[in-house]
Structure formats: C-alpha cells, structure tokens
Homo-oligomer: A and B are copies of this chain.
Amino acid sequence: MIIKGELKGEFMKKILITGISGFVGGHFVHYLTTHHNNLEIHGISRSKPAWDFVNIPPRLLNVHHFHKADLNDIPRIKLLIEEIQPDYILHLAAQSSVAESWKTPVFSFLNNTNIFLNIIDTVRLNDNAARVLSIGSSEQYGIVPENDLPITEDRPQCPENPYAVARVAQEHLARIYAKGYDLDICCTRSFNHCGPGQTDRFVVSAIVKQFVKIAKGIQKPVINIGNGAIVRDFVDVHDVVDAYNLLLTKGKKGEVYNICSGQGRAIKDIITVLSEMLRIRVEVHQEQSQIRPIDNPRIIGSYKKIQRDLGWEPTIPFEQSLKSIYKYWDQRLQDESKMLSGNTL
C-alpha cells in the first residue's frame, strides 16, 4: 500500500471516520482525497461503502482503511482505537432520521448517544489525544418562537422527538468529557442536509426523486409528502464537509457551532421551485401516516459564530443543490432500470 505522506517524508496524521459508508461519509472522503494528501483515512461502519454519488479514482483510496464494526461492540471499538491511534475522529455514525426515531426510539438512542459515548470513553481510557468532532443536530433546539429566529448557539435546548433527545444527550456528554476529562472535543449542531446521494428517507431527496420519476413517466404527477407547511434550513453537503474539515482542524475545544444556510424553506415551497425549474406541473398529497406526533413548525439557523471564528459560510445556492440531486436520481434510476431490463449484461 502506498501511503502518500510517507513518500513525501511528511508526518502522516491519521483520521478515523465513523459511519464512513453514509452520505456525509462519502462526501467527506471525497473532500479529503481532493484537498489533503497527508492523511491516513480509517473508516468504521457496519457495511462497506458503496457510494454511488462521488467519483473517487481507486488509486486515491490507497490510504483508506475500512473496519467493519458495530459501534455498540465496545471491546471491538477499544481494540480498533488502540490500534489506529487516530489524531482526528470525525464521528458521523448516527441514526439521523427523526421519522425513524419515532418508530424505533430505542434503536435511535443506542445508535446516537450510546455509540458516541462508547467512542469518547475509549479515547478517555486509552489516553488518546485525538481531536474529536461530534455531530449534532438543529433538532436539539426544539420549537423556537418566530421572534427568536434565526437560532443562535446560546439558545436553551428543548428536544421534541426521540432523535433530538439522543443528540442533546450526546452533546452534554461531549461537554462533560471536554470539561471533566480534558478531551479535545468540538461539537456541531448541523441543520438539514441536502445533496446527491442522500437516501429518500429525507425530504428533499424524496421530493426530487419523485420529480425524476414523474419526468420519466413512471409516477403520476403527484408528489407525496408529510407536513408541507414545516420550514427547515437546508445546507448543501459540500458546504457541510467544508465546515467539518475546518472544525476538525481549527474549531475551539468544548465549543458548539451551528452549520446551516441561514435560509428557511417550507417543504411545499421546495416543490414549487422544482416544479418551475423543471416545468413539471404536480399535485401535492400530504400523507397522514407521515405526520409526526410532535413537529417543529420552523427551524432556521444562524451561522454567525462559525463565520466569525473560522470564516466559514455556505456557498452553494439551493437551486444548485436541487440540480445536483436531480442529476443523481436521474442517473441512479437510469442505472436501476438498465439493470432490471438486463441491458448491463
């Protein structure tokens, strides 16, 4: 295996990425391989990466070590972290769907709070000086009055769903480990992501996928959604990984940073934008089964803190995100259709 840093005689730093096989994991690895050449990348996930949304030439993956593991398997995680001795840990692994967390709250809690605790407690016991980036969520804020938008980091947290509770607990643990055990942890409260490769369990991806199917004539011109009135702040995954890279290297220890676009968009307005952009007329059908027991009407964040401290700001317009997501689903459904019709044989 060629380790590029060694070839250059540089000191080779190691990064461990949990949940590497996911949507953000793929984009972050893509970011690292195009922006850094002195990092040994280790990834942990329950399943091997099968990213179909980033193009990474295989030779650039030489520094990539994949470890198949369940983060609730504490002895295995201990062994891995002891062996790797990472300089950085980007903890992306999460069960990050609010809707799923209402269906399986125990699973959601185990696969958010507990897995994070297992990681940082291993770092503590191992006396490993790794810099840890803990990913949190805008859901931690709960329901915020209109006058208090956009939300800043000093706002008290009032989680309103099982996923949000798990994320609040994770952040409290991060704070305690930074303050009480002197671990080098920095936290985000990341707002809704969008971008190519996100599963259609998330709303923007689900809507765009339906538009692609309508355009291909394989779905009637009806868009099925949950609550169309709720407003969320969507930030492009490419901007997100840029922020994560900055925070891993320069974020202040023990601090929490919003990562958001600063713009609120109602779900039904996203449908209007797509409808006009693609010149496709659609009806909207709100599925009762997708309405959640409690839902935040409006979530809009402020990115002033990370802008002030690290100079980060969102750069990708929402329409550009929608286009790249459209392109992704268009290609993917074409590939699937080819496979089904046997054209690839």
Contacts and interface: CB of A to CB of B under 8 A. Distances in A.
A121 interface: yes
Q: How large is the interface on A (under 10, 10 to 19, 20 to 34, 35 or more residues)?
A: 20 to 34
A109 B166 CA distance: 12
Nearest to A166: B169
A159 interface: yes
Q: How many copies of this chain?
A: 2
A176 interface: yes
A180 interface: yes
Task: Specify the main secondary structure of chain A where it touches its partner.
Answer: helix
A181 B105 CA distance: 11
A179 interface: yes
A173 interface: yes
A161 interface: yes
Contacts of A292: 180
A172 interface: yes
Given A156-B156, A172-B165, A180 B114 contact: no
Given A121-B106, A181-B293, A294-B179, A173 B168 contact: no
Contact of A159 (B156, B172, B293, B294): B172
Contact of A180 (B102, B113, B118, B169): B102
Given A169-B165, A172-B168, A109 B105 contact: no
A48 to B, nearest CB: 28
Interface string A113-142: 110011001000000000000000000000
Contacts of A74: 106
A243 B249 CA distance: 51
Contacts of A161: 176, 180
Interface of A: 74, 102, 105-106, 109-110, 113-114, 117-118, 121, 156, 159-162, 165-166, 168-169, 172-173, 176, 179-181, 292-294
21 contacts: A74-B106, A105-B173, A106-B117, A106-B118, A109-B117, A110-B114, A113-B113, A114-B114, A156-B156, A159-B172, A159-B176, A160-B179, A161-B176, A162-B173, A165-B169, A165-B173, A168-B169, A169-B169, A176-B294, A179-B293, A180-B293
